[in-house]
Structure 1
Amino acid sequence: KWWITINEPGAVVQGYGSDLFAPAAYLDLTGTVEYQVGRNLLLAHAGAYRLYQKNYSHQNGKLSMTFYGLFCIPKTDSLEDKKAAERCYQHTFGWFSHPVFIGDYPPEMRKRVDELSRRENRNTSRLPYFTQDEINHIKGTADYYGLSQYTIFVATDAEGDSETGQLKDAGVHSTTDPSWPEESFDLYKVVPQGMRLNVKKICEEYGNPEIIVTENGYSEDGSNFTDDPLRINFLETYLGELRESIYTDGCNVKGYVHWALIDNFEWRNGYSAKFGLVSVDFNNPNRTRTMKKSAYWMKSYIQLQTIYYQ
């Protein structure tokens, strides 16, 4: 039994302080309310984990949350850009995974937000503090690392940039490499090597925990119906990088979950972005399902019973 308490807390907070996701609340508190929401999410996750430990541990389930953020590579070999790429990670992925796997917020994140808050003449830091009891309550509340991985970004040092929120606090400007191909619905860049880079970072950062890729997939506009060679290529290349994570890097990858089994409702794109291995005819009252070529490819792949290595 594998459980996820909260899916992508890094995305959930974007509904507070920005209008990117629902409920698009407290837009005048950007750079403050997100941190409060993040704190509450971590405490809620820890509460659910401890409750399961107390009452349902006999079921031998494993619990985690799905971690989501910005994995950045430095734009140049300069020390400044390398440090910016690390800050990009710690202020997004580390924001939630560091308290769970190590305890409390990443030290650099704490230091930076505290200092920026002082410069803004605030009496308290915009990043709320945990008590020691809360730190202990949250630490160790994941039996595996749940990773949502689609793409990566390019980081440059941006101290003093006018951006607001997390990346302003991180002193990072994030962009993409124009040479990277886009998925057909133009939601993100297709960067297979990002899978291996992020998994390896998790191994190094958190002591090689069990890892499940809980979300990864490719969107299309559906114009080709069931003919989706680009999705097949996406799967082949991303899973190839995951193989390298296992067999070359020695990372403890236990599973992979594709987003999605069927075409569905996407929060930001409705029914227009098609992520499914199975096509759904939303104009038919029966919502007729038809397997895409990628579904047959995935079926064949799964029948191998492992992420094989050649």
Structure 2
Amino acid sequence: MDWRTKGLLQKVLGVMPGGDAIHYQLQRRFGGLRDFDREFDIKIDDWRLMANQLREVGVPMAGARLFEIGSGWYPTFPLCCFLAGARRVVTVDLNRHLRRDLLRACARGLERHVALIAEVAGVPEAEVHQRQQQLAAALERSADLAAATAGVVDYRAPADAARTDLPPDHIDCVFSNSVLEHVAPEAIGGIFGEAKRILRPGGIMFHSVNCGDHYAYVDSRITQLNYLQYPDAQWRRWNNAFLYQNRLRADAFVEFAEAAGFAIVTRVTSPPARRLRELTELKIAPQFASIPAERLCITSIDFIARKPAV
């Protein structure tokens, strides 16, 4: 599909009555939710990478108190954390996207990954398997998510990650996966400020950010740098409620974290070599022209930031 067509269609659906339901059905039939198992397995691997990095910086899953920004259509990360023995997982979304059919599919699909979750978390496989079976059975009986996880997973939507009612110094880790690139730049500082408030001293944030043009996933004729060609006034034609992209570069998210008072522990970025070659074929919009090419061409970043211990 031509990326412009998708952008305009989503823009219309974003403002029309019932547009959310129509958009969901289109995603199930033609979009990213069409091949659920493939997308789900990718999310499981993303969780594995996060859990391994958290363990390396002293935050094991078992017994952890976690806060997720951006639950999405189905809560893969919170349920993986639950199976791994997390003490509590609060997950919030600005809009309520959770779908019961995908939630059940997620719970069932986790059976394929019990061994992986147990290995990553360092807990007995039988224990993880028992939790997964009980979870899937409870959700098939139409139990709500909190009841199905014995109160561990707390899904809140609509909810603002910049204004929670959680007590201060309460959470071990705040995390997100492919979410911050969809947040308005002016909101990120508030989200990080709230994260610092609710984290315990020495607690951490983990964020994985995909800061390339997401339309490249549906239109093979463009690259992940495509959207850098357009000034804001022109980009607004295609930016929309269902696929809002802030176009911030990877370093900007780290700078927001530092401005909020966090110390950066680790940062892993995508290699820019391929993107540097692609950049030569584009005429970059004036607002990006002053950014060094190496920064423009980094289209993903994972970083860990720590709240001061005192």
TM-score range, shorter chain: 0.3 to 0.5
Query: TM-score of the superposition, structure 2-length normalised?
Result: 0.32
Greater RCO, CA 8 A, separation 6+:
2
Query: TM-score of the superposition, structure 1-length normalised?
Result: 0.32
Larger proportion of helix = 2
